[in-house]
């Protein structure tokens, strides 16, 4: 089955901002809680010509706004893993930020466990190692005002969006559903990946550098940690060019 690009109805999970059919490698990116694939739309411009970026889109946002949200981690992993199957006809790496890192980790484990083509690399960003993740169930009880306060503090949503009540009203149901996915996160403590793991973190984020470094425990291969100036969304601020340079370095190692 050949990959379906852009808004093809057969693959609502996968967006390809710049198709590169002759690419030697695919970079499959997972968005954070409350986000969507649009955050990766400009990344192809900073990637080598032989790397094709695919952005995963969970239901309930952007072009899938009318679909019911997923609310459990296991459903998100299983459905995302099934969705990328047609795109694994060549080597690939997984990248995920925050909740996206959690889901990409689960997808990497699922691919390895089922004996399918496993990722050549797992790149995780803004997320503590599985054994150090705080599930924070209290967020599930927050009212709208408290959720908006959280969005402002994390810096991943523009002030212009937060100033428009209609847009906030559209964002909050997605954020609540994604927080449920995070609250149901689980991981096998006796299972390790075979691929290298590269970790990206912000120096002003709330998680400790030690909790990021413990991603080394999830793999039998090499691991690395890069820190960048900024808070939780360091990859969208002034550090973005350096983050993308780090990603290019990791992908250059994939042969």
Residue bearing the bigger pLDDT, 7 or 30: 30
Of 98, 104, 120, 125, the active-site residue reads 98
The predicted model scores a pTM of 0.93
SS3 label, residue 192: coil
Spell out the CATH class of 14-252: alpha beta
SS3 label, residue 150: helix
Residue 22 to residue 89: CA distance in whole angstroms = 12
pLDDT band of residue 152 (cuts 50, 70, 90) is confident
User: What average pLDDT does the structure give for the chain?
Assistant: 91
Q: Which two tokens stand for residue 87?
A: 């795109």
Residue-level pLDDT at 42? 96
Residue bearing the bigger pLDDT, 87 or 255: 87
Residue 176 to residue 182: CA distance in whole angstroms = 10
Cα 240 to the chain's mean position, in Å? 15
Residue-level pLDDT at 5? 45
The answer to whether residue 18 scores a pLDDT higher than 80 is yes
Residue 13 to residue 114: CA distance in whole angstroms = 21
| Whether residue 2 lies in the annotated active site | no
Strand runs (DSSP E) across 103-248, as ranges? 121-125, 197-202, 223-228
Which region holds residue 98: left if phi is over 0, alpha if psi is between -120 and 50, else beta? left
228 contacts 235 by C-beta, under 8 angstroms:
yes
Residue bearing the bigger pLDDT, 171 or 3: 171
Residue-level pLDDT at 190? 87
Cα angle at 109 between 83 and 99, to 5 degrees? 70
Which region holds residue 252: left if phi is over 0, alpha if psi is between -120 and 50, else beta? alpha
Residue-level pLDDT at 9? 41
Residue bearing the bigger pLDDT, 92 or 153: 92
The answer to whether residue 8 scores a pLDDT higher than 50 is no
């Amino acid at each position: 089955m050949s990959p379906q690009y852009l808004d093809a109805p057969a693959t609502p999970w996968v967006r390809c901002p710049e198709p590169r059919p002759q690419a030697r490698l695919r970079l499959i990116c997972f968005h954070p809680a409350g986000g969507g694939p649009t955050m990766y739309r400009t990344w192809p411009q900073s990637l080598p010509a032989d790397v094709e970026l695919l952005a995963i889109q969970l239901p309930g946002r952007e072009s899938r706004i009318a679909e019911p949200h997923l609310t459990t981690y296991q459903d998100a992993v299983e459905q995302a893993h099934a969705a990328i199957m047609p795109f694994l006809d060549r080597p690939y790496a997984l990248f995920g930020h925050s909740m996206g890192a959690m889901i990409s980790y689960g997808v990497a484990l699922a691919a390895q466990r089922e004996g399918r083509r496993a990722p050549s690399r797992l790149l995780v960003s803004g997320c503590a190692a599985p054994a150090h993740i705080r599930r924070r169930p209290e967020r599930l009880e927050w009212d709208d005002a408290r959720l908006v306060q959280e969005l402002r503090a994390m810096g991943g949503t523009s002030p212009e969006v937060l100033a428009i009540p209609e847009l906030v009203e559209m964002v909050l149901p997605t954020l609540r559903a994604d927080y449920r996915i995070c609250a149901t996160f689980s991981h096998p403590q006796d299972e390790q990946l075979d691929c290298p793991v590269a970790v990206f973190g912000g120096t002003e984020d709330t998680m400790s550098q030690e909790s990021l470094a413990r991603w080394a425990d999830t793999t039998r291969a090499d691991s690395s940690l890069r820190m960048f100036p900024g808070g939780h969304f360091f990859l969208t601020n002034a550090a973005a060019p350096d983050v993308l340079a780090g990603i290019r370095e990791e992908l250059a190692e994939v042969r």
